[in-house]
Amino acid sequence: MHWNGPARFNAFGADITGPWRGFQISRALLDAALLQQAASAGVEIYQPCRAHSALTFEQQVIGVEADAGCLYASYVIDASGAAGWLGRQLHLKARIDSAALVARFGYLHGQPARYASNPRLLATTDGWTWIARIGPQLTHWTHLAFETDALQTVRQSRQMLPEDLQALPQSGTIRGADVSWRISATVAGDGYLLVGDAACRLDPASSHGVLKALMSGMQAAQAIHDSLSRPLLRTAAQAQYQRWLRGWYEHDLTQLRSFYRLHPFPPRWLGTDRVKED
């Protein structure tokens, strides 16, 4: 993934086997596959089921009051994404590392030949646009404007699309998502862990959102296993999870800042460390 021009940047990462590769899958397919795996591993699934409030006893989270009633647990994992449900319930503070960022995204019927095999990330005068074919005759786009004063309207973000895409008919509505860079000050505590976007998030150009959601779920399960099997090490297991997640976030934050410094019109707020606390 790189901006147009000579500067190249390996956004996915690399290890001794070579550069990491990016894969694309529709959210519905991935969700269904993960749910099926969980069910076959013996997980009891309630769906749909909204979590309303956290149940606590002496500062410890002991369960969830949800559509399905009161569910008690040794640990509650919050995987509510940008909603950050449990963080709000517990009034956890967060560090915000960017200006307010809203990604607009939509779908188009059709598939211009130049996007047929490889997705593209295009630098625009106000940010970037990501374009990818995600199915036969279906093209996805995401547009992000860097500056708060340029938070684009739906119409403006469509106008940032390359001309060959502007001509294509829209499929569904254009939507927006808060993708401001943010990490919760506490991602593990007595009786709870935060995973995925509920714990920390960067904008989609970091390209690790789904991977981080999956891997933080696995690490959280390990932390819970460790603290239940060796209760004396409970605090250590929570601290280890917090260090692991924070380390990854800080690494990706540095990478994303480097990437944006190569942008022909970099965000003005880029040099500002720790923009504010929430």
State the residues that interact with ligand FAD by CB under 6 A: 50-51, 79-83, 85, 103, 105, 142, 177, 179, 196-198, 201, 204, 207-211, 213
Measured from the CB of residue 77, what is the shortest distance to ligand FAD in angstroms? 11
> Which token pair is 240?
């280890």
Whose Cβ is closer to ligand FAD: residue 161's or residue 198's? 198
Torsion 86-87-89-92 (CA) sign: positive
> Which token pair is 83?
């909603």
Angstrom distance (rounded) from CA 154 to CA 148: 15
Whose Cβ is closer to ligand FAD: residue 90's or residue 210's? 210
CA-closest candidate to residue 122, choices 134, 130, 114, 111: 130
Within 10 angstroms of residue 25's Cβ, the number of other Cβ atoms is 11
Whose Cβ is closer to ligand FAD: residue 64's or residue 237's? 64
Whose Cβ is closer to ligand FAD: residue 30's or residue 236's? 30
Whose Cβ is closer to ligand FAD: residue 66's or residue 234's? 66
CB 165, CB 131: distance < 8 Å? yes
Residues 6+ apart with CB under 8 A from 186: 92, 93, 242
Measured from the CB of residue 63, what is the shortest distance to ligand FAD in angstroms? 14
CA-closest candidate to residue 105, choices 163, 161, 32: 161
CB 219, CB 187: distance < 8 Å? no
Measured from the CB of residue 102, what is the shortest distance to ligand FAD in angstroms? 9
Whose Cβ is closer to ligand FAD: residue 135's or residue 231's? 135
Measured from the CB of residue 109, what is the shortest distance to ligand FAD in angstroms? 19
Measured from the CB of residue 96, what is the shortest distance to ligand FAD in angstroms? 16
Measured from the CB of residue 206, what is the shortest distance to ligand FAD in angstroms? 8
Measured from the CB of residue 223, what is the shortest distance to ligand FAD in angstroms? 17
Eight-state DSSP code of residue 169: P
Whose Cβ is closer to ligand FAD: residue 84's or residue 267's? 84
Torsion 95-84-101-205 (CA) sign: positive
Please give the C-alpha separations between residue 73 and each of 26, 62, 152, 207, in angstroms, as whole numbers.
32, 6, 43, 33
Angstrom distance (rounded) from CA 249 to CA 271: 17
Angstrom distance (rounded) from CA 270 to CA 228: 42
Measured from the CB of residue 41, what is the shortest distance to ligand FAD in angstroms? 18
Q: What does the angle CA 261 – CA 263 – CA 265 come to, to the nearest 5 degrees?
A: 105
Whose Cβ is closer to ligand FAD: residue 106's or residue 267's? 106
